[in-house]
Amino acid sequence: MKTKRLLLAVAITALVVAVILISLEAYYVAIALVAGTLIIGHRELWSLIRTRKMPPIDERVRENTSKSVRNGFIFFAIATAFLMLPFSVRLIETPDTVHVLGGLFLSGGAVYLLSYLFYDRIEPGLGEKGLKMLKIFLLVAGISFGTFIISVFLHNAIYGLFIVWFGEDFWDRIGVGDEPVFFFISLLAIVALAVGIIGSLVIFIKGLFSKSL
Amino acid sequence: MGIRMKTRIKEFRAKYNLTQEKLAEMVQVRRETIIFLEQGKYNPSLKLAHNVAKALRTTVDEIFVFDE
């Protein structure tokens, strides 16, 4: 009974928020919200259709939900803080509040969804070896993303500073035309980022369809 | 190395001819929770461990075995 009421509350809330989002013309956020709600509640819905009974919300589900909410909230807080930085506000080409907020909620929701799938299915399904590999690929993706940002910044900074210090034709004079070291590092970082993301996705999907259930 | 947990839930289930679904219903958890418990992939709370042991008419230390 408790789970039925909870599912009903989640469905009504999602519907009301979706209607508000549609009225604000944030269609993609509304679609993502409905899709995310369906993915989260697919087991409950399937059980309801098949047996007219709801599976109980046990301690494992409660634990997974609270950990996923925490992850989504941390991501949301960090992303909001990043957007509040004066330089990042300028990065947004169309400073439309609804779309910026919609994007924030959307990505926070995606983090929640991925976290829930991870704790609910992937973590128990992968085993120690698989989890270790996932950790390595995620670390590669994270480090290469950080390296990419830093090397782009340093590439531009060194390019500009050397022009200020040694004259406008400095890079042509030494025969390279542009700062080469950090440019090359940033290219390597993009390749490593792609490897990290693809590797993580492959292991994530493998865990999602593991035979442990 | 951490302590590994093994469970004898499957063995006791077979003894009393209980399905995973039935046991899940008895202890008010989802079937997946029973599956992960059987595979030693989920560390239950003391309360859940007690409930499982009670449903299988045995004690917690008979059901959950720790390899140190």
What CATH number does the domain containing B23 carry? 1.10.260.40
pLDDT digits (tens, 9 = 90+) for B10-67: 999 999 999 998 999 999 998 889 999 998 888 899 999 999 999 999 999 999 988 7
What pTM value is reported for the model?
0.74
ipTM above 0.85, yes or no: no
Give residue A88's pLDDT: 59
Residue A1: pLDDT over 60: no
A128 touches chain B (CB under 8 A): no
B1 in a structural domain = no
Annotated domain spans of chain A: 1-57, 58-208
Nearest CA in chain B to A54: B30
pLDDT digits (tens, 9 = 90+) for A108-141: 888 888 898 888 888 888 878 888 999 999 999 9
**Nearby residues of A166 by Cβ (< 8 Å), 6 or more positions away:** A173
Give the total number of structural domains in chain B. Answer: 1
Residue A92: pLDDT over 60: no
B66 in a structural domain = no
Mean model confidence pLDDT for chain A: 83
Q: Compute the average pLDDT of residues A74-82.
A: 86
Residue B1: pLDDT over 60: no
Cα dihedral A38→A44→A46→A52 (10° resolution): -140
Q: Which domain holds residue B36?
A: 7-60
CB contact under 8 A, B36 and A124: yes
B60 touches chain A (CB under 8 A): no
B11 in a structural domain = yes
Does residue B57 come out as left (phi exceeding 0), alpha (psi in the -120 to 50 range) or beta? left
B17 in a structural domain = yes
CA distances from A133 to A126, A127, A208, B36 (A): 10, 10, 15, 21
B39 in a structural domain = yes
B15 in a structural domain = yes
**A17 against A192, higher pLDDT:** A192
**A166 against A42, higher pLDDT:** A166
Q: Encoding tokens for residue A39?
A: 């993915």
Residue A110, min C-alpha distance to chain B (Å): 23
